[in-house]
């Protein structure tokens, strides 16, 4: 490199460092500070990556070990509270967003591939992280003292919102490891049919549900058939995508018996989006898209009446922090299989998500729905 090029390079690095430091300081985050949420920079390339690619660059540079902090959750919350945006557009994020507008990124084929990249990476990881219930969604901490109690409370809250009673037939779209099905069948005496496209989930779920009136099927939610007294999805709508929101609601309508109750439990965005944040799309939840309440309402239009909309978003911060603690405790037994880079990806995923919920950047909606003309169900959860 010639002397003049070296000078230009140093100037660019200097500009990037000053700009990123100012952005961080606007959120009360200092480089080299002594507070838990302050940043320790190990590689000056961090500044240019953040300046060039915004939140995507922030996450990638963390995974690559270019910087650290003792409180990723608080750092994320402060950035969001301060309204810090990408200093410059990310061409990769823009490209992903453009593809989502043109293509159906959550088609049946793509949905299976996306699930394999997240939910099929290893049941040992999820068993260690999620606790005894294997519930991979927001818990309900109102009266709970620990994660397992909070997850059981959430499951029971869902059952009460559905007014479950012995003998009812329930359809679960996106059944995971059969967590809800197991609880509803054992506690309320209902028969549950669940759909998932995760081979790992359905294999372990069938084992855990053995002896109960539970039928877990390896199939896409769009393939569901039959008539059921209640239709429920817990953590599926985030993977459905805006091009399929109406198809999802039409599937629920097709499978719900007259007079039945439907229920949706989903993370909610404060604004419309066609694709999840670029870092999460690339490393954690490919092709996911968090729906806004307006998008959900549009998908329901003419098919369902929202009987109850309950936002328990603040409970997700505590849930994610509990998962992060479980993950760190279990890491010695997971290290050999997953490796240090995975640890940094997973830590960033869990703790930055906790910070996003702390900042109220995301919500968690539970929506009870009936068809127009159906008698309003009894409220058993207030």
pLDDT confidence band for 138 (50 / 70 / 90) = very high
- Geometric angle at alpha carbon 347, from 343 and 351, rounded to 5°: 175
pLDDT category at 100 given cuts 50, 70, 90 is very low
pLDDT for 22: 94
Find tokens 């309320």 and name the residue. 188
Q: Is the pLDDT of residue 88 over 60?
A: no
- Sequence-distant (≥ 6) Cβ neighbours of residue 33 within 8 angstroms: 39
Do 270 and 130 belong to one domain? yes
Tell me how many domains the chain contains: 2
What's the confidence (pLDDT) of residue 2?
A: 61
What pLDDT, on a 0 to 100 scale, did the predictor assign at position 94?
A: 54
pLDDT at position 275? 87
Residue where a domain stops, chosen among 30, 63, 89: 89
- Output 90 or 15, whichever has higher pLDDT: 15
- Let me know whether 85 and 186 are in one domain: no
Say yes or no to pLDDT of 101 above 80: no
Residues 17 and 137 in one domain: no
User: Is the same domain home to 16 and 124?
Assistant: no
Q: Do 8 and 156 fall into the same domain?
A: no
pLDDT band for position 116 (50/70/90)? confident
> Does 100 fall in a domain?
no
pLDDT band at 98 (very low <50, low <70, confident <90, very high): low
Residue 298, φ and ψ in degrees, nearest 5: -65, -40
User: 28: which 2 tokens?
Assistant: 């009360």
The answer to whether residue 273 is domain-embedded is: yes
pLDDT of residue 12: 61
Distance (Å, whole) CA 323 – CA 334: 15
Whether 260 is in a domain gets the answer yes
CB atoms within 10 A of CB 227: 13
Query: Rounded mean pLDDT of 39-59?
Result: 95
* 379 pLDDT tier (thresholds 50, 70, 90): confident
Asked if pLDDT for residue 42 goes beyond 60, the answer is: yes
Token readout for 371 is 């068809």
Asked if residue 375 is part of any domain, the answer here is: no
Identify whether residues 76 and 130 lie together within a single domain.
no
Instruction: Name the pLDDT band for 87 (thresholds 50, 70, 90).
Output: very low
CATH code for the domain in which residue 142 is found: 3.40.50.150
Using one digit for the tens of pLDDT, what is the confidence trace for 149-183?
A: 999 999 999 999 999 999 999 999 999 999 999 99
Residues 59 and 111 reside in one and the same domain: no
Q: What is the pLDDT of residue 202?
A: 96
Residue 11 has which token pair?
Answer: 């100037």
Q: Is 162 a domain residue?
A: yes
Q: Are residues 151 and 297 in the same domain?
A: yes
Residue 99 lies in a domain: no
- Whether residue 380 has pLDDT greater than 50: yes
Each residue's pLDDT tens digit, 342-363: 999 999 999 999 999 999 999 9
Residue 198 has pLDDT above 80, yes or no: yes
Asked whether residue 380 is assigned to any structural domain, the reply reads: no
pLDDT of 29 over the 60 cut: yes
Q: 137 and 66 in one domain?
A: no
Same-domain pairing of 81 and 121: no
Domain boundary among 35, 57, 89: 89
Residue 263 and residue 137 share a domain: yes
Q: Tell me what the mean pLDDT of segment 136-149 comes to.
A: 97
Would you say residue 97 lies in a domain? no
Q: Is the pLDDT of residue 107 over 80?
A: no
Q: Identify the domain containing residue 40 by its residue range.
A: 3-89
CA–CA separation, 158 and 367 (whole Å): 10
User: For 204-263, how does the pLDDT look when each residue is reduced to its tens digit (9 = 90+)?
Assistant: 999 999 999 999 999 999 999 999 999 999 999 999 999 999 999 999 999 999 999 999
Mean pLDDT of the chain: 91
Q: Are residues 79 and 216 in the same domain?
A: no
Asked if 66 contacts 44 with a C-beta cutoff of 8 angstroms, the reply is: no
Predicted local distance difference test score (pLDDT) of residue 5: 41
Reported in sequence order, the residue ranges of the chain that DSSP labels E, i.e. its strands, are: 40-41, 67-68, 169-173, 191-196, 214-218, 228-234, 256-269, 305-311, 362-370
């Amino acid at each position: 490199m010639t002397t003049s090029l070296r000078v230009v390079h140093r100037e660019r690095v200097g500009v990037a460092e000053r700009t990123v430091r100012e952005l961080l300081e606007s959120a009360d985050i200092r480089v080299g500070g002594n507070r838990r949420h302050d940043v320790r920079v190990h590689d000056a390339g961090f500044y240019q990556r953040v300046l060039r690619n915004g939140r995507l660059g922030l996450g990638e540079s963390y995974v690559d070990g270019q910087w650290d902090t003792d409180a990723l959750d608080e750092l994320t919350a402060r950035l969001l509270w301060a309204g810090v945006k990408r200093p410059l557009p990310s061409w990769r994020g823009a490209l992903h967003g453009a593809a989502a507008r043109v293509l159906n990124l959550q088609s049946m084929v793509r949905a299976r591939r996306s699930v394999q990249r997240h939910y099929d990476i290893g049941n040992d990881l999820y068993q260690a992280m999620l606790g005894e219930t294997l519930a991979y969604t927001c818990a309900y901490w109102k009266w709970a003292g620990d994660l397992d109690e909070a997850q059981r409370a959430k499951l029971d809250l869902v059952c009460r919102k559905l007014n479950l009673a012995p003998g009812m037939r329930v359809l679960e779209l996106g059944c995971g490891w059969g967590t809800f099905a197991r609880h509803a069948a054992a506690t309320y005496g209902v028969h549950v049919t669940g759909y998932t496209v995760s081979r790992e989930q359905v294999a372990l779920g069938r084992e855990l549900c053995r002896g109960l009136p539970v039928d877990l099927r390896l199939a896409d939610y769009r393939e569901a058939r039959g008539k059921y007294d209640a239709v429920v999805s817990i953590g599926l709508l985030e993977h459905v995508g805006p091009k399929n929101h109406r198809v999802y609601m039409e599937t629920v309508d097709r499978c719900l018996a007259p007079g039945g109750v439907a229920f949706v439990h989903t993370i909610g965005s404060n604004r419309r989006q066609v694709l999840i944040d670029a870092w999460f799309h690339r490393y954690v939840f490919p092709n996911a898209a968090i729906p806004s309440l307006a998008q959900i309402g549009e998908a329901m239009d003419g098919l369902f009446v929202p009987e109850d909309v309950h936002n328990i978003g603040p409970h997700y911060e505590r849930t994610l922090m509990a998962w992060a603690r479980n993950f760190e405790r279990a890491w010695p037994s997971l290290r050999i299989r997953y490796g240090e880079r995975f640890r940094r990806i997973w830590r960033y995923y869990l703790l930055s998500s906790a910070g996003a919920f702390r900042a109220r950047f995301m919500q968690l909606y539970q929506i009870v729905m009936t068809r127009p003309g159906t008698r309003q169900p009894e409220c058993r959860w207030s």
